[in-house]
Amino acid sequence: MKTAAYAIAGLLLLWTALGALRHLHLKKTRKGKVICVDESRCTGCRRCCRRCGRHVLEVVQGEAGARALVARPDSCTACGDCLAKCKRGALTLVERGEQKAER
């Protein structure tokens, strides 16, 4: 019984350590990136806006309807939380110098 408990504890420790390493790797690879919205795919559903804890994205009403807009790119940490929420694939990470003017 103790052997099984040690094995489970070892697996949990390994899983935690690998998760921390993955987080550090993603943080390093995303440095210098910012979110970019593909206006042709965005439906203005606000899923990304609700998910972003830094309030980087806003939805604005335009001629073609509601669309997400990167309102505060300097606040973007490129964490990718909004990417996971977008069902239309309208969000991508790009280098900070490559983002287009969206206003």
Instruction: CATH number of the domain at 70, please.
Output: 3.30.70.20
| 102 and 71 in a common domain | yes
pLDDT value at position 101?
A: 45
Q: How far apart are CA 67 and CA 88, in angstroms?
A: 12
pLDDT value at position 98?
A: 73
| 55 and 25 in a common domain | no
Q: With contact defined as beta carbons under 8 Å apart, do 46 and 88 qualify?
A: no
Taking the complete model, does pTM exceed 0.85, yes or no? no
Positions of E strands within 32-100? 33-37, 57-62, 65-70, 91-95
Low-confidence ranges of the chain (pLDDT < 70): 20-30, 99-103
| 72 and 37 in a common domain | yes
Q: What total of structural domains would you count in the chain? A: 2
If you search the block for the tokens 């998760």, which residue do you land on? 19
pLDDT value at position 68?
A: 93
Residue 52's domain comprises: 32-103
Token representation of residue 16: 């935690």
Q: How far apart are CA 6 and CA 45, in angstroms?
A: 47
pLDDT value at position 100?
A: 58
